[in-house]
């Protein structure tokens, strides 16, 4: 690790309500990792107490980072909603009517979740590196793509192995409303009646829309989705709707050519919801989800870990949560890589593994 005198932790991504809640748990600034995890509910246990715990992963991650920095004798500073600007090689901060120049020697500017895709941060990174510091975050390449939620970034990297991991996909471009019926006729002929439309993913996460093309009156809602790809940075991907046997959520790091999978969760979705009768599927909001811990000494963990590492051979992400599924007919279907997924820790061994996961992320950020 370089000689770092202090690290500014940017909390600008936090909404006002989350930041206020973050401040209520300020006692965790001097807490151990084990104590910090006690304030985040363990998956699979009914142990959430709103008076002593938080559900926001960003709050827990920040306190874990503070603990890590203090263990490495680095002074953390927390910034929220600071007006900043760069003048030549200076970083200036507006405080009321005063303008303050921030000393940058051996300073690290740290972000956990935001993409930092604004050109300001690319210039700031150059200036910091000239002065012995750096701008650091997990998956620094998300400064270059459209952000951590652009699932197409991972799909582009896997596309040379499409048949193995992605299956049949159709990606529209510049299709006008008058073309929609002809286009959807083609989709139906090649993908079948049951399809999934996603504005930058497939069958995962927020805004997934299932359609059964054998049903009547589907075109109005489909046209709205197809038109959305004309918006800047919006892409629509269409795939077949798969019958899923088992879904995997695999927390990994990929540092210095060493791939490590720390934790795997399995997800089972409720069968009591007609996904084809929904305007969209939002996990946690309108679909019941059950999570199961996969123990590290099981064949299922070995299977999920091996497949994750195989996919990582084609992916540039240095950390994250890779999600894929095994279908009922034995296919493997890649869903997405979340740059910083919620940790979902199970009590006991899994909490220890999640701590190792985050500390590996921090090791790579501050190496």
Q: Rounded to the nearest 10 degrees, how much is the dihedral formed by the CA atoms of 334, 336, 342, 345? A: 10
pLDDT at 175: 81
DSSP label at residue 173: -
Taking all residues of the chain, what is their mean pLDDT, rounded to a whole number?
86
156 strand-pairing partners: none
Question: Each residue of 275-287: pLDDT tens digit?
Answer: 777 666 666 556 6
Question: Each residue of 151-210: pLDDT tens digit?
Answer: 677 888 898 899 999 988 888 877 888 889 999 999 999 999 999 988 755 445 556 788
Question: Each residue of 109-159: pLDDT tens digit?
Answer: 998 877 677 778 888 999 999 999 999 998 877 776 554 445 677 888 898
pLDDT at 148: 42
- Domain range 244-365, its CATH number among 3.90.1150.10, 3.10.20.30, 3.30.470.20, 3.40.50.970: 3.30.470.20
For residues 272 and 329, give the distance between their C-alpha atoms in angstroms, rounded to a whole number. Answer: 22
CA distance between the termini of the chain: 4
pLDDT at 220: 85
For residues 71 and 292, give the distance between their C-alpha atoms in angstroms, rounded to a whole number. Answer: 32
| pLDDT class of 51 with cuts at 50, 70, 90 | confident
Question: Is a pLDDT exceeding 60 seen at residue 100?
Answer: yes
| pLDDT class of 19 with cuts at 50, 70, 90 | very high
The token duo for 149 is 């939620």
Ranges of CATH 3.30.470.20 domains, the chain = 244-365
Nearest to 267 by CA among 288, 237, 296: 288
DSSP label at residue 74: -
pLDDT at 147: 46
Of 273 and 260, more confident:
260
Question: Is a pLDDT exceeding 80 seen at residue 85?
Answer: yes
pLDDT at 202: 47
Neighbour count for residue 130 (Cβ, 10 Å): 11
- Domain range 166-240, its CATH number among 3.30.1490, 3.40.50, 3.30.2290, 3.30.43: 3.30.1490
Q: How far is CA 367 from CA 116, 215, 276, 301, 360, in A?
A: 20, 55, 48, 29, 10
Percent of the chain with pLDDT over 70: 88
Query: For the chain, what is the largest distance between any 2 Cα atoms, rounded to a whole number of angstroms?
Result: 65
Q: 45: Cβ–Cβ under 8 A, 6 or more apart, which residues? A: 346, 347
pTM equals 0.86
Q: 147-186 burial, b if ≥16 CB within 10 A, otherwise e?
A: bbebbbbbbebbeeeeeebbbeebebeebeeeebeebbee
DSSP label at residue 281: B
């Amino acid at each position: 690790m370089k000689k770092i005198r202090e690290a500014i932790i940017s909390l600008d991504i936090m909404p006002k309500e989350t930041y206020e809640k973050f401040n209520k748990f300020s006692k965790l600034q001097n807490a151990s990792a084990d104590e910090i995890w006690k304030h985040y509910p363990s998956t699979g246990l009914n142990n959430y107490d709103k008076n002593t715990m938080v559900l926001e992963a960003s709050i827990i991650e920040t306190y874990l980072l503070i603990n890590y920095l203090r263990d490495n004798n680095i002074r953390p500073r927390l910034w929220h909603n600071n007006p900043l600007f760069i003048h030549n090689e200076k970083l200036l901060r507006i405080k009321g009517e005063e303008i303050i120049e921030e000393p940058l020697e051996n300073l690290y500017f740290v972000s956990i979740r935001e993409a930092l895709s604004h050109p300001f941060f690319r210039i700031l990174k150059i200036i910091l590196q000239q002065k012995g510091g750096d701008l650091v975050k997990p998956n620094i390449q998300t400064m270059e793509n459209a952000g951590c939620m652009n699932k197409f970034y991972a799909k582009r990297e896997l596309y040379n192995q499409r048949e193995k991991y992605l299956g049949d996909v159709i990606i529209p471009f510049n299709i006008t409303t008058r073309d929609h019926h002809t286009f959807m006729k083609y989709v139906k002929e090649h993908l079948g009646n049951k399809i999934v439309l996603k504005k930058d993913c497939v069958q995962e996460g927020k805004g997934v829309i299932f359609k059964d093309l054998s049903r009547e009156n589907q075109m109005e809602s489909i046209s709205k989705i197809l038109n959305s790809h004309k918006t800047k940075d919006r892409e629509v991907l269409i795939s077949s709707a798969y019958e899923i046997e088992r879904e995997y959520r695999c927390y990994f790091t990929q540092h210095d050519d060493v791939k490590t999978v720390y934790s795997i969760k399995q997800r089972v979705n409720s069968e009591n919801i007609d996904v084809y009768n929904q305007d969209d599927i939002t996990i946690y909001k309108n679909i019941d989800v059950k999570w199961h811990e996969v123990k590290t000494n099981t064949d299922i963990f070995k299977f999920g870990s091996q497949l994750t590492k195989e996919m990582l051979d084609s992916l540039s992400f240095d950390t994250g949560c890779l999600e894929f599924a095994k279908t009922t007919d034995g296919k493997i279907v890649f869903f997405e890589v979340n740059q910083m997924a919620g940790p979902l820790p199970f009590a006991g061994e899994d909490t220890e593994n999640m701590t190792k996961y985050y500390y590996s992320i921090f090791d790579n950020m501050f190496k």
